[in-house]
Amino acid sequence: MKAIIPFSDLYFDRMKSLVHTPDELKKEGYRLEEFWPDEIQGLRRCRDCLVRIKIKKPKKKDTDGAYNAIPVIKPMDDEFMKGDKQARLSSLVPSPAKSETSFDEEDGGVPLLQPEQPEDKLGDTESADKEEDLIIFDDEETDRGCDGKSEVTEKEEDLLIFDEETRKGCDAKTEVIEKEQEILSKVEGAIEQISLVEDDEAEKEKGDEVPSKGEAPVEGICLGQAEEAKNEKKKEEEKKKPKCRFHPGAVVNKYFICCNKFLNTPGCVERENHVSRTYQPGELEATWQMHETPANRTHWTRRAVALDCEMGIASTGESELIRVSLIDYFSGEVLLDSLVYPTVPMLHFSTKYSGVTRGMIEYARHRGHCICGRDQARQLLWRYINSDTIVVLHGGKGDLLALRWIHKAVIDTYMVESSRKDGCEKRSLKYLAEAVLGVAIQRGAGHDSVEDAMACRGLVHWYVGNGP
Ligand SMILES: [Zn+2]
Ligand SMILES: [Zn+2]
């Protein structure tokens, strides 16, 4: 797979035909624009169980009156959109005091972060599962499986109920969330009726990466029906579950000291609602600032590259970049392969999947052999990538998001495989590398992002040669 792929215009034209349209990317959950202030408010997480909190509209039947009373909110007009971003931000961000009142802050809000947990923590999937990011994106792991999609679609439909007016340059999901937020801030009187709900814990099938609690998809079965039934089942299970569940105690030798239960045991404390973490003014905005690839070309700039990242979980519950690998598509040269020392406190390094331990990261930093944080990683990638460079990746929306990077020339092999008429039902990189290329990857403990990027490059090469 490391062989050179000879460049030709014909080859490159075929490759360009595989590049997804912005609409396709958005539909898949790629972030192609900066977060709007009200979306950013929707990125809060529960301080205890770390699940992403969203504010749900009240149930229609008992709140018809309240909803009718909501003033019609005018969509932002073009002039507004053109205006100064800072001004928009400040005019739109609810004051911290006001937004705090929407949440059930119990005790002055000193965030009780989850205790540090061993790197080989089996419960990785717990937090990853809870990263229910249907609103804007999914985490890396969820990108690579097959089954999460129908849940997301279902929830989109759920949300789309009161989506009427559209705003330019903003996808439907975004608008709905914005409206929810706007409505919330307008209807102060109705605030008690609005309950905080977690985004459902989607126990998504994550390909081979994360062991699924549900049943694996059986090849040959109509997936639509199977998923429907599965979703129904999940919904019912969801209703029975308390909303917020966590362990207040630290982990010692893989056991929680609060209840003396093993790592992956569900939380011993249950609460009816989540409690938002307390965020400093501007913290969320700074955390989620996105950056678009510059257009300038240098002699370093490549025509196409393959990218793969490894992620851990920050103490906020967010995915955080810990390793980045970049390969020149045509030459196969490894342009960049480095551990990334996160600039935020980490909960764990998802070692089981990332292959990266805290020790490795600390050692690399000690030796000065690592990149410092996602922003520096992005800058280093941009040495080789301009806005025209085709970036090849597999289920890469999480990778780009972890880099806070907006890039539009993308070939996502997960998406290509999904759109092929005789594509595989299983679309994990491991499976496809084996089925399509006959190459076994991800055999050892954890992934090797160079190996994964190389496999992804091999897949695109196959698609170019054999048609998508
Ligand atoms: Zn416990
Ligand atoms: Zn919670």
Give the tens place of pLDDT for each residue, 338-351.
Answer: 999 999 999 889 88
Ligand nearest to the CA of 317: 2
Ligand nearest to the CA of 245: 2
Helix (H) or strand (E) holding 95: none
| Per-position DSSP letters for 426-458, written without gaps between them | ---HHHHIIIII------SSS--HHHHHHHHHH
Ligand nearest to the CA of 248: 1
10 Å CB burial of residue 338 (0-12, 13-18, 19+) is: middle
User: For residue 303, which amino acid is it?
Assistant: R
pLDDT of 418 reads 85
pLDDT of 349 reads 92
pLDDT of 264 reads 85
Look up residue 184 and give its two tokens: 């919330």
Beta bridge partners of 307: 326
Between 331 and 95, the more confident residue is 331
CA of 355 to the centre of ligand 2 (A): 28
CA of 265 to the centre of ligand 1 (A): 8
CA of 263 to the centre of ligand 1 (A): 9
Is 328 strand, coil or helix?
strand
User: Residue 254: what are its φ and ψ, rounded to 5°?
Assistant: 70, 10
Ligand nearest to the CA of 197: 2
pLDDT of 444 reads 73
Helix (H) or strand (E) holding 304: strand 304-314
* Most confident among 52-61, 226-235, 351-360 (mean pLDDT): 351-360
* Closest to 123 in 3D by CA, of 239, 264, 262, 278: 264
Greatest pairwise CA separation for the chain in angstroms? 66
pLDDT of 329 reads 96
CA of 116 to the centre of ligand 1 (A): 14
Look up residue 429 and give its two tokens: 């990189």
Give the tens place of pLDDT for each residue, 254-270.
Answer: 899 999 999 888 899 99
pLDDT of 238 reads 64
CA of 113 to the centre of ligand 1 (A): 14
Residue 367 pLDDT greater than 60, yes or no: yes
Ligand nearest to the CA of 259: 1
User: Residue 279: what are its φ and ψ, rounded to 5°?
Assistant: -110, 140
Instruction: Spell out the residues 6+ positions from residue 332 whose beta carbon is closer than 8 angstroms to its own.
Output: 1, 2, 3, 4, 5, 454, 457
CA of 350 to the centre of ligand 1 (A): 20
Distance CA 202, CA 227 (A): 12
CA of 250 to the centre of ligand 2 (A): 17
Give the tens place of pLDDT for each residue, 173-217.
Answer: 333 334 444 433 433 333 333 333 333 333 333 333 333 333 334
Q: How far is CA 462 from the centre of its chain?
A: 27
For 306, other C-beta atoms within 10 Å of its C-beta total 31
* Closest to 142 in 3D by CA, of 155, 125, 157, 154: 125
Look up residue 425 and give its two tokens: 């039902």
Q: Please tell me the least confidently modeled range out of 72-86, 253-267, 288-302.
A: 72-86
What fold does the segment set 9-33+290-466 form as a domain?
A: Nucleotidyltransferase; domain 5 (3.30.420)
For 229, other C-beta atoms within 10 Å of its C-beta total 10
Mean pLDDT of the region 323-337:
95
Residue 168 pLDDT greater than 60, yes or no: no
Residue 443 pLDDT greater than 60, yes or no: yes
CA of 56 to the centre of ligand 2 (A): 15
Cβ proximity of 52 and 167 under 8 Å: no
Q: Please tell me the least confidently modeled range out of 46-50, 78-82, 97-101, 302-306.
A: 97-101
Per residue, the 3-state secondary structure of 123-163, as one string, reads: CHHHHHHHCCCCCCCCCHHHHCCCCHHHHHHHHHHHHHHHC
CA of 262 to the centre of ligand 1 (A): 9
Mean pLDDT of the region 5-15:
94
Q: Please tell me the least confidently modeled range out of 162-171, 373-382, 408-417.
A: 162-171
Positive or negative, the Cα torsion across 410, 171, 142, 276? positive
| Per-position DSSP letters for 331-370, written without gaps between them | T--EEEEEEEE-SS-EEE--HHHH---HHHHHHHHHTT-E
Is 187 strand, coil or helix?
coil
Between 193 and 379, the more confident residue is 379
* Phi-psi domain of 33 (left: phi exceeds 0; alpha: psi -120 through 50; beta: other): beta
Q: Where are the domains of the chain?
A: 9-33+290-466, 37-196+221-285
Give the tens place of pLDDT for each residue, 238-248.
Answer: 666 668 999 99
Residue 134 pLDDT greater than 70, yes or no: no
CA of 201 to the centre of ligand 2 (A): 11
Cβ proximity of 340 and 377 under 8 Å: yes
Give the tens place of pLDDT for each residue, 25-79.
Answer: 999 999 999 998 888 888 999 999 998 887 665 444 444 433 333 333 333 334 4
pLDDT of 55 reads 61
pLDDT of 397 reads 93
For 82, other C-beta atoms within 10 Å of its C-beta total 9
Name residues with Cβ closer than 5 Å to ligand 1, which is an ion. 247, 256, 258-259, 268
CA of 280 to the centre of ligand 2 (A): 19
Q: How many residues does the chain have?
A: 468
> Which residue shows structure tokens 């509209």?
57
> Looking at 209-286, which runs of residues are DSSP E strands?
244-246, 251-252, 255-256, 269-271
State the chain's mean pLDDT as an integer: 71
CA distances from 186 to 102, 282, 310 (A): 12, 22, 41
pLDDT of 314 reads 93
CA of 178 to the centre of ligand 2 (A): 22
What's the alpha-carbon Rg for the chain, to the nearest Å?
22
Distance CA 449, CA 325 (A): 6
Is 381 strand, coil or helix?
helix
Look up residue 348 and give its two tokens: 């764990």
Positive or negative, the Cα torsion across 425, 428, 429, 431? negative
Between 36 and 153, the more confident residue is 36
- Side-chain-side CA neighbours of 188 within 13 Å: the count stands at 5
Between 367 and 154, the more confident residue is 367
